[in-house]
Structure 1
Amino acid sequence: MSEQVRAVTVSPAMVQQRASDLVKSGMQVLLLRARPEWTHGDVSVGNTWVRVLPGVSQLGILDIYASLEADERVVILTDRPRDDLGDAVLARAYRQQIEVPDEWQAVPRMFPGAREVSRELRRLDWAATALLDHQPPGGWPRSTELALTARHAIGALLANLLGLGANTELDGIVVLTSLGQRDVRRSWASVDERLRRHVIDWASLELGAPAAFALRVAQRQEHISPLAVGLALDVLWPDDGTPVCEEQIAARARVEAYIDGKSIRVEVAQAVAQVAKTVVLRLGLDDSPELGVALQQAEALLGDLDWEKGAERSTILHPGYRARLRALANALDSGKEVEEALAALMDHRDAGTSTAPTMAVRLARWLATNEQTTTSLAQDLQHQMDDGAWVDAAIGAVWNGDADPVVAGAYEALITRVQERRQRRDETAATRLHQARDIGPRGALGIERLLSEIVEPWRHNGGALLVVLDGMSAAIGTALASEVARLGLVEWVPAATHRRLAAVAALPSLTRISRTTLFCGKLCEGGADDEKKGLATAFPGSLVFHKDDLRAEGGAALPDGLLRAMRDNAARVVGVVINAIDDAIHKNDTSGSDWDLHRVEPLRALLVAAADARRVVILTSDHGHVVERDSEALSSPGADARWRLASSGPAAHGEVLVKGPRVIAPDESAVLLWREDAHFGARRAGYHGGASLAEITIPVLVFQAATMSAGVSGWEAAAPQVPTWWNDPVNLVTSSVLPKPRKIQPSEEASKAADQGVLFEVSTTERPAIGLAEAVLASATYAEQKRMAGRRALDDATAAAVIRALLEHGSRAHLDTVAAAAGIPAAGVGQVLAAVRRLLNVDGYAVIEMDADGVTLRIDERLLREQFEIGGAA
């Protein structure tokens, strides 16, 4: 009886496998049921070559037998039934039969570890042939399952078809990312159309709609990245509820031409868009060149769809950023919905390209706060450290602005308003410089008292490293302080004020005067040798290292002499002068500079060495500086950049005449510029010597290694020093810097503030937030929570302060804002807030939790009242 098996065209992979079986068997001939057609030549199995020949009849096959040499092997393709061939042919064949090509039988053998084909894979009737035809030279990847799965096999097939390598693990993101490369798209487009359709259908089910979408786009659009089309879909079908316009609807229809000519469902379009945005994030991290191409293509595509303005709605495409930036500029001009405009801008991918927008909003917040009234120079200096330094830093970021005229105009108007307010502060402080009574034990800290009042007590705490950054302003000191903290050093501040110290420079605020005064502990003028003698006189055995003394041997960050001094107990104070800032302001444009540890080398190495030697670090300056920002050039013969002799003429607008022992000039008098927007002489990148707060305010920062838990009497570990407007929208709070709550009477608080020149007094007015915080602490539930916390329970004052801070800021605030309000040391914020959550999150309910951004704390007032059984509307 004749076989009813249909003869098919066999793949080279199938022939290769059967040739391998033949060689292993030791036989010479294998008959394979197939069309007698072959154009691929002989195949090799190891070192053995196997001939592949058509067998169209019994006689033809017998002729092949007759021609075989003793060591030859042959696979004969024949469509003749068994009865036609007869015993003479079958007797010499492998297994004495005609092998029927079962491609599924061959498939497991191509995947090491597999023994059979899973039912789901076998349902794909096209898969066996495809796996045989496209087997890569290195073979298919090992299967982890005995029954080969479709996910493993077809995933490997697709990866191989894309030219990625069969071992590539695929998902929608990988497929969309890979098809961003033109050679991958070209490889995919070269695949047989029928196989492409099968694979796309499988990908839709197994890898998701975004993967299938990418494959559909790439098979027709070799020159356009599927990622670009996906980014277009993001604005065509947004998921933010934005109203749809007519141009958008028309563009939706036109985009079908790029997606295999088929319509796309809303949920699919939004899924594709979401994956596309994830791909952009990944490519951005890798700095991939394909990303820039895709972004440009997406913009061009929206133009081709006759909806060019659609790109302005994108959170990925650059026109979207520009549109949001212009919206922010308009909000800054109008003063309306500024925070909302910033939030929209920060949602855009390009938001991190410039700090100017964020800084501009911070300045707008600052302008919205009430100006604090000061009554002394001490308060003016403290105000500059607590508030003005941050303003100056923000101005620097906004000054260089933006190329867009709308944005540039808004920034300029904002800076003008800020400078007007800052100028009033400078003028007020300048008028108080002549008050000798204001600089002394009960007033401002003069730089001549830095050794006796700061270095002297701290040098007993393991020795001190006194680092003087020549020209460091309060703004730069503020920026550097946050970086120093990240090195593992803990900042310390006076317990009386909870704030960083500010000293006042000697006048004029020049290096040869103010720095020498610092090291000598008395008002004087001199140079480096005088400074070394001065510190050695104040603290015998101490050493000062200047610029040339800091030159280290090759490969070393610090010279051996300095390191030896740091380890020498006899040198209780080691002084180091770093000129990086002062040098820069004389030579380089610093109007928009960001100052960090790398720009003031070798400060980082010094800090690490001090921590290793267990020395306290006192980081300070001799004077600050003003930055050149289009300032007016004034003429006065013999004048220095920011001051002139009193004999050269009376003080004009923007100047102040200062007199007294703190003025190192003829007749103990000089005329100083307090206007930041003016200078004498040649134009430079920056100036000092004048009377502006930026020049005369000297930051005094004290740090210890975290392993040194004890400070000196009258000092405490610092809470975050950031003003509230820096991180949070302006709210109805008592001041821009919230002081730590203390267990003393209001009258005592006011008395201490007056005595110590404290800038802000604590308001004793009862507010709703205070009432709610007190009610929580008085509740039975809170008492039970404290009992359960045991020794880990937080003190009531801190818990109440955290609750108040959050409620006063609309139930959410930055971590630093909360920590500053509650007086929580910066180094212990995480631990304290964990304790707060243990107290307030009753039964696991999230009364107080962290936002996803990792820096914003929020409180659920309704849940707080409910959990602690407190009445009143939330």
Structure 2
Amino acid sequence: MAARPAAGRRAVEVLLEAELPRAEGRRLVLVDAVWAGGDQEREFTVQVDGVARRVHVTDQDSPLGIADAWRHHTTAVDPDGDSVLVVTGLVPADQLGWDLRGHAVRRRPLAVERADIVKQLFGAGDLDTRMVRENWLLDALLEAEPSGGWPRAGSVLTRNRALRALLAARVGLGDTSDESLDLDADTLFDWSRTPAGPRRFAELPEQERSGLTTWLEEVTGPAAPTLLALAADGRGADALPLGALASAALACPAAADAGFALGTLFGHALGSFDALAPYASAATGVLTRWIAQAEGGGSAGTDARARVLAVLERADRLADTARLTGLLAGDRLLPSGYRARLRTLTAALDGRPGPAQTALRDLADHQLAVLHADSTERARTAVRLLRWLDGPQTAQDSVGRSVRHHLESTGWVDLATGILAEGDASRDSGIGEAYHRLIGRVRDRRRQLDESFAATLAIWTEAASQQAPHGALLIEDVLAQAAAPLARDGGRPLVLVLDGMSADVAVELAAGLAPRSWTEIVPAAPAGRRPGRLAAVAMLPTLTRISRASLLSGAPAEGGQDTERAGFTAFWKKRHREAVLFHKGGYEGTAGHRLAPALLEALADERRVVGVIVNTIDDALADGRDNGRARWRPTDIAKLADLLDAARGAGRPVLLVSDHGHILDRSPRESGPTVADGVQGARWRTGPAGPGEVELTGPRVRTAGGRTAGGRTAGGRITAAWRDDLRYTARQAGYHGGASLAEVTVPVLAFVPAGIEIPAGWTALPAENTAPEWWRGDTEAAQPQEPAPAPRGDKGGGKAGGKGGGSRKQQQPQHESLFPQPGRGTVGEQTVRSKPFETQREFVRNAPGNTAVAAVLDALLTAGGKLSPAAVAAAAQAATGKSERNPQRFVTMLERLLNIDGYPVLQLVESGRTVHLDRELLRQQFPEGTAP
């Protein structure tokens, strides 16, 4: 039996709006349909040609009932007005008398054509033919019309457009006026997490839910039915968590057991087991994309991270209720899987590095490793310390070699210890205890090194002098050995003294400077030696009043700010340069100024060398830092970013130097100071040395017994602590004044603004060459260092292998699609000999020589396609013997040579930090040089 036609209020309104303008004054409308509206909707107003007409609706099932209703309306309800009586019912026209039909609009009952009404509502000339047969859709469109009406559809209302509009109006999926929404699994799962959307879907009539489900499955994929079934069941918020669990269950070794438990969570929402795999795939695809968004950072990344973690933590809770947690412990997506891998790693920290490194690879392979970046990096740091403990400990038999080694390696141990000491965010006591044990082992080894260094220092200080430093750079020689070379040929260095900066702080600050803005440089090394950072030896005791005054005076000195200003000015005056030194309060800008105008004026003056003293690190040793972190980034140092920006704007190189280092107090909170005689400071005193102390005497000791003869200090005598847990005064966050490596070592770092030529006698320091091998690990340590030198002779335009080229033998890159042809040399050499490259050279003025280009390509391929700009320049320099004094410009020239027709064969990525070589594009652009 055919369904009886029905008409609700909106259908009647549309019918009246279409018929009354041509009704010739008739006020009776017979509708061939049953009334589908409620009793409260039987009286309403409709606009006809801009005039409001009152409407009364009644149901009648007989000719007599219709006649009585019309008589009542014209005599009792509205005898003289123009209100309209609408009579709904299924009385055939041939049963109505002609007198009654004469009062009716069109003189007959009017059929309610849903399709026509929908066309009118959308302002469409025609309907998609498929919609005519879908009564559920037409009825839903009539019932769901928004208060502002449906958007205009144009000539044809398509089924897709109608369904999109219906979804937006019914369940809040999209916008009725916005057709740009990309309906896919991401959109559907995102909608499932809204508070109202799934509830509104559950309240829809069953036929409408079924129709929408079928269409969404066609549009978004096979996950739609299961997701919408969960929404209809009131569990839309768990759609994504259940999808994540489904993925984990299908992948676990005991998939059958896990699948059974999972079925209890899904209930009847899961139509069949075959629907589980596509549903799991769609859900994990959404989460993977959210994880990628979270990696992007910014507010969008923060929101994505919060969404992912909320979903996956809920998945873990659901797994727990179904007793699935144990079966899914190895999953790559669930937080419980990440925590299980982290616990496995920390359990391996008591042994050799091998198992821990394997566990670290498993941890990094987990999809949440990037979202738990701090925890992952802390675990990586623990493995680094384990490698250091397992590695050989080379004895440093001189003070000079010891402080250099501390800056190159041991200071990184202190940095790693500080990272680990902050603790893991998981607050897992087992993880924390494993880190605590590892820190204890590291501190024991560090104390051995400090004890050995203290003994060497005691011998060295007895005869140390500027004339016989035994290979050590003295702090009073830093200006002469590092700042003055930067000032040659009109250079105007900014000398930034970060009071109390130890080696661990220095290496992290250097890593935090953007390569797009700054290039780190070091003095060029003699042939056969690798250039490295400078490290100086502080004055003793390692106090600001002694070491900083000596640093800034360029000679042993003691005093405060006046002594420092006078010494700094006198040092540069001897070199025929003007100089000015700013202390705290002198360089900080007043209201409205980030830096003091006097400082900016000095930086703009080409005649002046400028010095600035920043006390942030030393000040933090008293009470600690508000954020509780032991590590330092450039943004953590007051005004450092502004000072560096001002120096870069003025084109000045920067010498970043300390006056002494410091140690942090990591002893138990209840421990007190060591009781001793002759206490002069937190870490030094007078009197005989006891355990953990060393007695120091000689010209480098500037206080407590020093004698002056003929203007020259003969030396003093002190007892200084070398153990990190020994102090003589009240507890602070950190201390200096002692004889440990961290306190005595003075880091000396130099930078030039990126794009500015490196001063003569200096060379760029590749970021790859800064960290020690134990820090980089197996894969990181495999990154290439400087390639073996090739025979010289390339003058900038000669072909590699010809008269101006070389026949270097170098490690070959092992890539399946890029490898050298037998007898033709390396891939780099083949590339620069190819016809496309030779043609491209003709259009690039002052291009780097073929030998340099070939060396760079080979170095990049060996490194997996990524190196820092400085490492790229170093590879070219090692191959040609020619210093590349502007790495950024050198990389730009390489881009012009290799990026034919704009294809990015080689480009700067990661904000200028990395040069990336696309090996596949290299093969395509230079097939003659790279074809197998």
State the TM-score, normalized to the length of structure 1. Answer: 0.84
SS at 1:606 equivalent: helix
Matched, 1:388 2:389: no
State whether structure 2 residue 341 is matched by structure 1 residue 341: no
Q: Is the 8 A contact 1:591 1:629 kept in 2?
A: no
Give the conservation status (yes or no) of the 8 Å contact 1:485–1:491: no
Q: 1:447 to 1:190 in 2, by over 3 A?
A: same
Aligned pair 1:198/2:204, yes or no? no
Summarize the Cα distance change of 1:138–1:286 in structure 2 as closer, same or farther, 3 Å threshold.
farther
Pick the aligned partner of 2:55 from 32, 35, 51: 51
How big is the shift at 1:74?
A: 4.2
Q: What's the CA shift for 1:61?
A: 6.2
Aligned equivalent of 2:246:
233
Contact in 2 for aligned 1:111/1:141 (Cα 8 Å): yes
3-state SS in 2 of match to 1:204: helix
Distance 1:410 1:192 in 2: 58
Q: Name the residue aligned to 1:655.
A: 694
Q: 1:685 to 1:317 in 2, by over 3 A?
A: same
Residue pair 1:510, 1:623 contacting (<8 A) in 2 also: yes
2:83 aligned residue:
72
From the superposition, tell whether residues 856 and 370 of structure 1 become closer, same or farther in structure 2 (CA, over 3 Å): farther
Provide closer, same or farther for how the CA distance between residues 37 and 377 of structure 1 changes in structure 2, counting only shifts above 3 A.
Answer: closer
**Which residue type is aligned with residue 822 of structure 1?**
A
How far has the Cα of 1:469 moved from its partner? 1.0
Cα contact 2:827–2:857 (8 A) shared by 1: no
- 1:408 paired residue among 429, 432, 436: 432
Q: For residues 788-837 of structure 1, what are the alpha-carbon distances to aligned partners after superposition, in whole Å with 9 as ceiling and x for unaligned? A: 55255665356446636764x7x687768965973788995797499499
1:642-690 per-residue CA deviation (whole Å, 9 max, x = no partner) reads 6435x50146455353422464442323333333343333222111122
How far does residue 25 in structure 1 lie from its aligned partner after superposition?
4.2
Question: What's the counterpart of residue 18 of structure 2?
Answer: 21
Distance (whole Å) between structure 2 residues aligned to residue 439 and residue 258 of structure 1: 86
CA contact (8 A) 1:469 1:579 kept: yes
Q: Report the equivalent of 1:351.
A: 372
- Secondary structure at 2:542 match in 1: coil
* Contact 1:121 1:148 (8 Å CA) reproduced: no
2:673 matched to 1:644? no
Residue 399 in 1 paired to residue 424 in 2? no
2:728 corresponds to 1:680: yes
Distance 2:809 2:728 in 1: 52
- Give me the whole-angstrom Cα distance separating, in 2, the residues matched to 1:867 and 1:418: 54
Question: Hey, what does 1:360 align to over in structure 2?
Answer: 382
Q: Does residue 603 of the first structure (1) align with residue 600 of the second (2)?
A: no
The one-letter code matched in structure 2 to 1:716 is T
User: Which amino acid in 2 is paired with 1:12?
Assistant: R
Q: Provide the residue aligned with 2:302 in structure 1.
A: 285
CA contact (8 A) 2:833 2:929 kept: no
Amino acid at match of 2:373: G
Quick check: 1:716 aligned with 2:763?
yes
The answer to whether the 8 Å contact 1:180/1:290 transfers is no
1:638 CA displacement = 2.5
Aligned to 1:494: 523
Quickly say closer, same or farther: Cα 1:363–1:805, change in 2 above 3 A: farther
In the TM superposition, what are the counterparts of 1:178-327 in structure 2 within 5 Å?
Answer: 178-222=191-235, 225-238=238-251, 242-244=252-254, 247-257=257-267, 259=269, 262-278=272-288, 281=291, 285-286=302-303, 294-310=311-327, 312-327=329-344
Aligned residue in 2 for 1:166 = 176
Which 10-residue stretch deviates more, 176-185 or 656-665? 656-665
Deviation at residue 325 of structure 1 after TM alignment:
0.5
SS in structure 2 of the partner of residue 251 of structure 1: helix
Secondary structure of 2:223 counterpart: helix
- Supply the distance in 2 between the matched residues of 1:700 and 1:365 (Cα, whole angstroms): 27
Letter in 2 for 1:803: D
- Say if 2:679 is the partner of 1:666: no
Query: Residues 649 and 132 of structure 1: is their aligned pair in 2 closer, same or farther, counting only changes over 3 Å?
Result: same
Give 1:92-171 correspondences, 5 Å limit: 92-111=103-122, 114-122=124-132, 124-143=134-153, 146-163=155-172, 165-167=175-177, 169=181, 170-171=183-184
Deviations 1:355-377 (A, max 9, x none): 31121123234445555565543
**Which letter maps to 2:335?**
H
What is the deviation of 1:157? 1.6
Alignment length, in residue pairs?
836
- Which structure 2 residues correspond to residues 785-796 of structure 1 after superposition, within 5 A? 786-790=837-841, 791=844, 792=847, 795-796=850-851
1:588: which partner in 2? 624
Distance in 1 of aligned mates of 2:554 and 2:514: 28
Distance 2:600 2:868 in 1: 38
Secondary structure, counterpart of 1:485 in structure 2: coil
Letter in 2 for 1:714: G
Q: 1:70 to 1:768 in 2, by over 3 A?
A: closer
**Quick one: structure 1 residues 458 and 835, their matched pair in 2 at CA, closer, same or farther if it must change by over 3 Å?**
closer
Could you tell me the percent identity over the aligned residues? 27
> How far apart are 1:14 and its partner, in Å?
1.5
1:9 paired to 2:6 = yes
Q: Letter of the 2:450 partner, please give it.
A: D
Matched residue of 2:478: which SS?
Answer: helix
Distance 1:798 1:847, change over 3 A: closer
Q: What is the root-mean-square deviation of aligned Cα atoms in Å?
A: 4.3
| Change over 3 Å in CA distance of 1:288–1:154 after alignment to 2 | farther
Find 1:694's aligned residue among 742, 753, 763: 742
In structure 2, relative to structure 1, the CA distance for the partners of 1:602 and 1:70 (3 Å cut) is same
User: How far has the Cα of 1:18 moved from its partner?
Assistant: 1.6
Q: Which amino acid aligns with 1:611?
A: R
> Against the structure 1 CA distance between its residues 644 and 568, is the aligned structure 2 distance closer, same or farther, given a 3 Å change threshold?
same
User: Is contact 1:116–1:146 with CA below 8 Å preserved after alignment?
Assistant: yes
TM-score normalised by structure 2 residue count: 0.79
Write the distance in 2 (CA, Å) between the matches of 1:768 and 1:163.
60
Describe the superposition over 1:168-196 as per-residue Cα deviations: whole angstroms up to 9, x where unpaired.
73432222222223333322222223322
Q: Which runs of 5+ in 2 are unaligned?
A: 294-299, 707-714, 793-807, 878-883
After superposition, the Cα gap between the structure-2 partners of 1:36 and 1:453, relative to the gap in structure 1 and judged at 3 Å, is: closer
Q: Distance in 2 between matches of 1:686 and 1:42?
A: 83
Q: 452, 476, 500: which is aligned to 2:480?
A: 452
Letter in 2 for 1:636: A
Please tell me the residue identity of whatever aligns with 1:694. Answer: A
Amino acid at match of 2:143: D
d(CA) in 2 for partners of 1:643, 1:65:
109
Note the C-alpha offset of 1:524: 1.0
